[in-house]
Amino acid sequence: MSVASAFPHSESIFFGIHVPIEVQHTIRTAAAELAKVHRMPGRIFDGRHFHITLCEIGRFHRLREPWPAALLRSAQTVKIEPFFVTLDRATGYANGSRGFPNVLLPDEESTRALRTLHESLRIGQEFNGLRAPKQYAPHLTVSRSSEAWAAQVSVAPIRWRVTEFELIHSHHDGERRHEQMECFPLAGV
């Protein structure tokens, strides 16, 4: 059984990083320019929904306490300093259950930092009785379309400092919205 099974199909819970308000416009502008110049289809998401998923919630595996407490305890084990994320490429993924995701990708340094945070959350979940996926490919989805963006292209670097991560409840039943369930500052903040 998993945490996901406790929610309707139109909802999910995950650990993630929301994009700061001051960066959302830059991302929307870059995505709109990509769509125009490279004829990349899809409606650009509202900036409030821009996020990088860090770690999905794992399947129940020897839970010692109710899953909400296990999730909070998992997040509280993270001891990572704040870091910068830089998005510098765009591409499309040729798979998706609700249309093809068109994404911005982090540079190598950002990818390493995001993978470190993912692994810390995954291990924290494992220790607390939740088995989360090991595979992780950090990205920020800007749109979904009926066909994937074919090319991988460079974009002017978009950068911000990550000082916290969140437990997010995503509702996508007609009107897409994200509800912050809990926020966790990174060490040193």
Enumerate domains of the chain plus CATH numbers.
Answer: 4-185 (3.90.1140.10)
pLDDT for residue 8 is more than 50: no
Per the prediction, the chain carries an average pLDDT of 84
Could you please report the per-residue DSSP string of 96-118? Answer: -BTBEEEEEEE-HHHHHHHHHHH
Give the Cα separation of 72 and 86 in Å (integer). Answer: 28
Would you mind telling me the total number of residues written for the chain in this entry?
Answer: 189
Mean pLDDT of the 121-126 span: 90
The pLDDT, as a whole number, for residue 96 is: 57
The pLDDT, as a whole number, for residue 5 is: 46
Residue 4 confidence class, pLDDT cut points 50, 70, 90: very low
pLDDT for residue 163 is more than 60: yes
Residue 153 confidence class, pLDDT cut points 50, 70, 90: confident
Q: What pTM, to 2 d.p., does this model score?
A: 0.86
Between residues 65 and 183, the one the model is more confident about: 183
DSSP, collapsed to helix, strand or coil, labels residue 44 as strand
Residue 6 confidence class, pLDDT cut points 50, 70, 90: very low
Residue 7 confidence class, pLDDT cut points 50, 70, 90: very low
Give the Cα separation of 132 and 138 in Å (integer). Answer: 15
Q: Is 175 exposed, middle or buried (0-12, 13-18, 19+ CB in 10 A)?
A: exposed
Residue 97 confidence class, pLDDT cut points 50, 70, 90: low
In 3D, which of 66, 54, 67 has the Cα closest to residue 183?
A: 54
Between residues 147 and 103, the one the model is more confident about: 103
Mean pLDDT of the 56-63 span: 74
The pLDDT, as a whole number, for residue 164 is: 96
Mean pLDDT of the 80-97 span: 86
pLDDT for residue 49 is more than 70: yes
Rounded to 10 deg, the angle between the 108-127 and 67-76 helix axes is 130
Q: Within a 10 A sphere around the Cβ of 100, how many other Cβ atoms?
A: 19
